[in-house]
Amino acid sequence: MNPRNLLALAMGLAFTLLQGCSSIKSVRVESHPPGARILIDGRDTGLVTPADVDLSTKSDRYDVCVEKAGYNSITSELTLETDVDVMDADEVVSRVLCAPCCLGLTLPGLLTPVDVNKGFHPNPVSIKLVPEGQGVSLTIDPPDAEVYVDGRLRNLLDDCFLLMDEGDHEIEISRDGYRTWRRVTYIESQQYTDLDVRLDMEGQGVIVRRPDGLRRASEVKVLVDGVLRSTRFDEVLSLEPGNYVIEVRLPQREAWVQEVQVSADQFLEIKIEVKTDQEEDD
């Protein structure tokens, strides 16, 4: 028989044998916080997070739901990814490809058995639970800011969740030394809107950033128009709008000097160019 025909025959046998074969695989299900009930396709498993759940490979997709008192139920889709390893053509023409659950089933008088690896690799499921109800999930930089909803001071739950009624709400975030942030947000029932808020500093000036790879910089000096203003990197230097000469001095390195323009209501981040410690060692 033509080798190409043998290859086609063997491949056909392999995938035919794979149909209907199944095994059990375990997948890790976690929640934050833990202690949530685990349901698979709506069926209670009797397990709580964190736990390993056994799943049949007859299906490659499952709906994983976690439920905990005081939190919204959350469902995540789990996909069992499949890898099928097949031998090359030279080996296939002399062997039959068999599914792991069909070992010993050969093509008599023609080919000898080989294995087909049908490997399932379940992705771990990690779910972050949110408090029961709806609202926003806030990330604020810098932290320790005051949060107001419709003009009333509110406290955050678990340092990030803000529970609110369904509908439009004005959210205001303020902190001393920073400009107030405001936004009107529509809150949908049983959903949390993620808000990443970075507050801008009031005033204007410069911030000299530490160069990447520079470790030995304890004696750094930052001068503005010849006047020492700081002895460390990443410090906020408030200045009036205008032009300035910024000078950075480091031990055993040539001073870095640059003229900059400071605009009203803006902080200019300055990245200096110096040899790193690794370059100095080389």
Rounded Cα distance between 12 and 6, Å, is: 10
* Per-residue model confidence (pLDDT) at position 112: 44
Selected residue with higher pLDDT from 48 and 276:
48
Name the CATH superfamily for 205-281: Carboxypeptidase-like, regulatory domain (2.60.40.1120)
pLDDT of residue 47 exceeding 50: yes
Q: What is the CATH number of domain 135-198?
A: 2.60.40.1120
Residue range 140-159, pLDDT digits in tens: 999 889 999 999 999 998 88
Backbone φ and ψ of 217, nearest 5°: -135, 35
* Per-residue model confidence (pLDDT) at position 23: 80
Contact 83, 119 (CB under 8 A): yes
pLDDT of residue 3 exceeding 60: no
Nearest alpha carbon to residue 6 among 73, 97, 94, 98: 94
Contact 268, 260 (CB under 8 A): yes
Rounded Cα distance between 187 and 157, Å, is: 17
Contact 213, 276 (CB under 8 A): yes
Residue range 219-239, pLDDT digits in tens: 899 999 999 999 999 999 999
- Write the CB contacts of 90 (distance below 8 Å, at least 6 apart in sequence): none
Rounded Cα distance between 68 and 199, Å, is: 34
Would 135-198 and 205-281 be classified into the same CATH topology? yes
Rounded Cα distance between 190 and 166, Å, is: 9
Amino acid at 177: G
In the chain, where are the structural domains located? 3-128, 135-198, 205-281
Backbone φ and ψ of 219, nearest 5°: -105, 30
Rounded Cα distance between 73 and 36, Å, is: 9
Residue 131: both structure tokens together: 């408090």
Residue 81: pLDDT band (50, 70, 90) is low
